[in-house]
Amino acid sequence: MNERSSRSRAEAVGSESGWPGLVPEWLWGIINAVQLAWTLVWTALGISLALLARLVTGSERIPLRMASWLWSPVLLRGAGARLEVSGLENVDFSRPHLFVANHESMIEVCGLFTAVPVPLRFMLKASLGRVPFLGWYTRAMGMVLLRRGDSVAVSGQLDRAAGLLRNGHSLAAFPEGTRSRDGRVGPFKSGAFRVAIAAGVPVVPVAVAGSGRVMPPGGFRIRPGCIRLRFGRPIDTGDLSSRQRLELARQARREVVKLRKQLE
């Protein structure tokens, strides 16, 4: 076993059998209730400040960066999550990119906000746009909200996403379309890749590990741990046509799987 594998296994064992494992379940219930209350209060405050900054400055850049500077780091610390990022040197952040990542937990949004050093918008489920405060924020910041089952609305949102990329903005997407419950990377849907091809921007594969242990899908069950993000080399889309979006999706998934193995 190499040094990286030994370290990763030690971290996994530590998160499962270390001090978190010594805390009784009833006490974790109280801790998580406090964390949930703090998350709601901090999110409402952070969104209010971001919306105020949007109103005062007339720009989305500062309020989007506030999510990286303030909102996300505080929530990660409150969850007891340590963020490790590698591979940023592979990306030229002076250019727009589409970042595609595997998806195990909503806390990955905090991780990507914190790791990416430029304003970042997400392609999200439309249902999140109906959540108080969060919905106001997603619309004010120009997030791309996709409504499943409504092909006309989805097509319009994908066209808008391509326009954002053409105008120099970077986007992040979770192309599995749902959170993995067993840690395996599911098939990538092609919608986000259609957007990258239409805009002619590179696709950056991003592997995430550990987020599902910190915040598993379903409910609000937080446990301290390490979340690791690894950015791969951008995949050029300049010579691709829309008909090649499925192959691009498969290529991006292969890269994410490869990167994720490097984190294990």
Write out pLDDT tens, residues 30-89.
999 999 999 999 999 999 999 999 999 988 899 999 999 999 999 999 999 999 999 999
**120: three-class secondary structure by DSSP:** strand
Q: Please, are residues 209 and 263 in contact by the beta-carbon 8 Å criterion? A: yes
Write out pLDDT tens, residues 89-119.
999 999 999 999 999 999 999 999 999 999 9
Kindly report the CATH number assigned to the domain that includes residue 135: 3.40.1130
Band (20; pLDDT cuts 50, 70, 90): low
Write out pLDDT tens, residues 168-218.
999 999 999 888 888 899 999 999 999 999 999 999 999 999 999 999 988
pLDDT score recorded for residue 21: 65
What does DSSP say about strands 120-125 and 144-146: parallel, antiparallel, or unpaired? parallel
- Structure tokens belonging to residue 252: 């991006």
**74: three-class secondary structure by DSSP:** helix
Q: Please, are residues 230 and 108 in contact by the beta-carbon 8 Å criterion? A: no
What residue has token string 């971290």? 11
Q: What is the pTM of this model?
A: 0.88
Q: For the chain, how many structural domains are there in total?
A: 1
Band (153; pLDDT cuts 50, 70, 90): confident
Range of the domain at 32: 3-263
Band (135; pLDDT cuts 50, 70, 90): confident
